[in-house]
Amino acid sequence: MDKLINLYDLTFDELAQLVAELGQPAYRARQLWTWLYQDLAADFAGMTNLPRDFREKLAEVATLGLEQPVLEQRSSDGQTKKVLFRLPDGNFIETVLMRYEKRRTLCISSQAGCAMGCVFCATGQMGFMRNLSVGEIVGQVIYLARELAAEGQRVTNIVVMGMGEPLHNYRNTLAAVDILTDSRGFNLGARKITISTVGLVPAIRRYADEQRQTPLAISLHAATDEERDRLLPVNRRWPIAELIDAARYYVAKTGRRITFEWALIEGENDTIEQAQALGRLLQGLLCHVNLIPLNPTAGYGGQPSSRERVAAFQAELAKYGVTSTIRVRRGIDIQAGCGQLRDRAIQELTPRSQE
Ligand code: SAH
Ligand code: SF4
Same domain, 27 and 163: no
* Catalytic residue list contains 165: no
pLDDT in tens, the chain (355 residues): 468 999 999 999 999 999 999 999 999 999 999 999 999 999 999 999 999 999 999 999 999 987 889 999 998 888 999 999 999 999 999 999 999 999 999 999 999 999 999 999 999 999 999 999 999 999 999 999 999 999 999 999 999 999 999 999 999 999 999 999 999 999 999 999 999 999 999 999 999 999 999 999 999 999 999 999 999 999 999 999 999 999 999 999 999 999 999 999 999 999 999 999 999 999 999 999 999 999 988 899 999 999 999 999 999 999 999 999 999 777 777 676 766 766 454 554 444 333 3
* Catalytic residue list contains 94: yes
Residue 264 lies inside a defined structural domain of this protein: yes
Which atom of ligand 2 is nearest to 122's Cα? 3
Strand partners, 73: 82
Pocket of ligand 2 contains residue 164 by CB under 6 Å: yes
| pLDDT value at residue 330 | 74
Among 67, 94, 136, 316, the one annotated catalytic: 94
- What whole-number distance in Å separates Cα of residue 220 and Cα of residue 204? 14
CATH number at residue 168: 3.20.20.70
Query: Which among 161, 194, 231, 328 is the best mutation to test ligand 1's pocket, defined by most ligand atoms within 8 Å of the CB?
Result: 161
CATH number at residue 48: 1.10.150.530
Same domain, 261 and 143: yes
Same domain, 48 and 157: no
Range of the domain at 108: 71-349
Query: Greatest CA separation found in the chain?
Result: 69
- What whole-number distance in Å separates Cα of residue 175 and Cα of residue 59? 24
Same domain, 57 and 82: no
Q: What is the DSSP string of 116-177?
A: S--TT-HHHHH-EEEEPPHHHHHHHHHHHHHHHHHTT----EEEE-SSS-GGGGHHHHHHHH
Same domain, 78 and 58: no
Q: Are strands 216-219 and 258-264 parallel, antiparallel or unpaired?
A: parallel
Same domain, 123 and 48: no
Distance 219 CA to ligand 1 centre (A): 7
Residue 157 lies inside a defined structural domain of this protein: yes
Tally the domains of the chain.
2
